[in-house]
Amino acid sequence: MRYLKDILEKVVVKEVLGSTDIEINSLKLDSRSVEPGCLYFAVKGTVSDGHIYIPDAIKAGAIAVVCELMPKKQDSNVTFIIVEDCSVAKAVIASNYHGNPSSRLNLIGVTGTNGKTTTVTLLHQLFQNLGYKTGLISTIQNKIQEQKLAATHTTPDPVQLNELLAQMVEEGCTHCFMEVSSHAIVQNRISGITFRGGIFTNLTHDHLDYHKTFESYLKAKKVFFDNLSPDGFALINKDDKNGKIMVQNTKASVSTYSLQSMADFHCRIIENEFQGLHLMIDGTECWFRLIGNFNAYNLLAVYATAILLGEGKEKVLTQLSLCEPVDGRFNYIRTPDGITAIVDYAHTPDALQNVLGTIQSIRTHQEQIITVVGAGGNRDTTKRPVMAKIACSLSDRVILTSDNPRNEEPEAILEDMKKGIPSPYENKVLVIVNRKEAIKTACALAKAGDIILVAGKGHETYQEIKGIRYPFDDKMVLKEVLESRGM
């Protein structure tokens, strides 16, 4: 139980109608889940407006309502709190309700287009290896130590987020590593959260269906760094031209990491093979189990974060070298006759370029690279032809197929992708709508020594079609098909 007057601290309130000296037993965003004694938030969303459901929430037992506009009919037994921005108020109240749990953790936020999931997952692994109790908030899953919790968004809603952080504090966690999406920043999901540090990985073409322009996407990411506290740190990828922009107005201390130039933390690739990466990090040679140039950046960011959190260099590198690859990120299967089948989450042009670039740098040129790739429905349409072009330019054979078509027709998505195929490459492209058949075809085309890349879904174990999620796992399908070939 919490008193309403206490959890309204630091909320910009325009007016209160009713008593604030009432006990709130829960916070609710959905009128269907309202229970007696709760505080209901009438949040305006992109699809519906929570103000419409205020009468339903009151009927179900809400004793207080946070809203931007008063309903036409008011209940004298209900307290109404009128605020300027319900999404901000919701986040601050949620933090206050749970005793501001983020301030009791070393909470590190990671933002950027690519590398967020790998970076936070490796940080979680590393700090567990270092002996700390740690939490994880990521696209793949949320974790308190080894306890796995389902993840529905890259960054949860503030009510769920603060509840999760409070659980971590209760379980004795000292650190939490969290992905911070651009949607979450714009929608004020992280308002009221105290971050010990923020990491910027990179910024490339993505989410323009939501942000409309690249500039708006960049500004959304920048807000995260603008709001870091003076006693926190901002760690940026110096090799991305947008890194400096991110920290132009930050109050936090700024550190840089780089593979291409002098920086506070520097790394050089010595060897890059399917077996792993041999790196020189700040003058020390180490072997890691991850693959690719892009993972060299992720590993360097993780190392730099640990050092900024006060850990010793030798211990960090030793434990980091033991960390396992992240689920759905450059996971591969090797068959007895040498076919390498790779599954990767690459669903943006830059991510696809990075993965295929890595394969190109490792290959012997005596084999084919066969790429299976699609693009998600109800998302940024401009990246579709770009991804097809990248796949064609860096592969010997390309199969365009469905990803998560969502509410779009898969054939329409593939028509958009086909527009990016350069005319000299048209004869090496197949279009197979059914994803399982596309993977089967890739395996049928592969000969001994060839490399198959199945891109776009990575860790996902479903395919979303017309609002329904059907079971589908790229890794399982690949394994079944290759085994059925007697491999």
Predicted confidence (pLDDT) per residue in 63-100, tens digit: 999 999 998 888 889 999 999 999 999 999 999 999 99
Q: Return the H-helix or E-strand segment holding 276.
A: strand 276-281
98: its two tokens: 């749970």
Q: Return the H-helix or E-strand segment holding 163.
A: helix 158-170
Predicted confidence (pLDDT) per residue in 461-474, tens digit: 999 999 899 999 99
Residues 109 and 206 in one domain: yes
Residues 288 and 312 in one domain: yes
The answer to whether 245 and 311 have CB atoms below 8 angstroms apart is: no
Q: Return the H-helix or E-strand segment holding 475.
A: helix 474-484
In a domain, 326, yes or no: no
Pairing verdict, β 340-344 and 331-334? antiparallel
Distances (CA, A) of 238 to 120, 250, 256, 325: 19, 16, 6, 24
Predicted confidence (pLDDT) per residue in 325-383, tens digit: 888 889 999 898 889 999 999 998 988 999 999 999 889 889 999 999 999 999 889 99
pLDDT at 194 over 90: yes
Average pLDDT, the chain: 93
The answer to whether 249 and 239 have CB atoms below 8 angstroms apart is: no
Q: Return the H-helix or E-strand segment holding 142.
A: strand 142-144
Residues 127 and 143 in one domain: yes
pLDDT at 116 over 90: yes
In a domain, 325, yes or no: no
Dihedral pair phi/psi, residue 120, rounded to 5°? -70, -35
Residues 335 and 315 in one domain: no
CA 367 from centre of chain: 33
Q: Is 180 exposed, middle or buried (0-12, 13-18, 19+ CB in 10 A)?
A: buried
421: its two tokens: 């195929």
CA 23 from centre of chain: 36
Query: What does the pLDDT average to over 31-55?
Result: 91
Domain housing 223: 101-320
> What pLDDT does 428 receive?
95
Report the alpha-carbon distance of residue 186 to residue 204 in Å, rounded.
18
Q: Return the H-helix or E-strand segment holding 137.
A: strand 134-137
Predicted confidence (pLDDT) per residue in 200-220, tens digit: 999 986 555 554 587 888 888
Residues 29 and 93 in one domain: yes
In a domain, 128, yes or no: yes
117: its two tokens: 């999931």
Residues 306 and 157 in one domain: yes
Predicted confidence (pLDDT) per residue in 260-306, tens digit: 999 999 999 999 998 899 999 999 999 999 999 999 999 999 999 99
> What pLDDT does 445 receive?
96
Residues 6+ apart with CB under 8 A from 468: none
Residues 311 and 439 in one domain: no
The answer to whether 370 and 396 have CB atoms below 8 angstroms apart is: yes
Residues 148 and 292 in one domain: yes
State the CATH number of the domain containing residue 60.
Answer: 3.40.1390.10
In a domain, 378, yes or no: yes
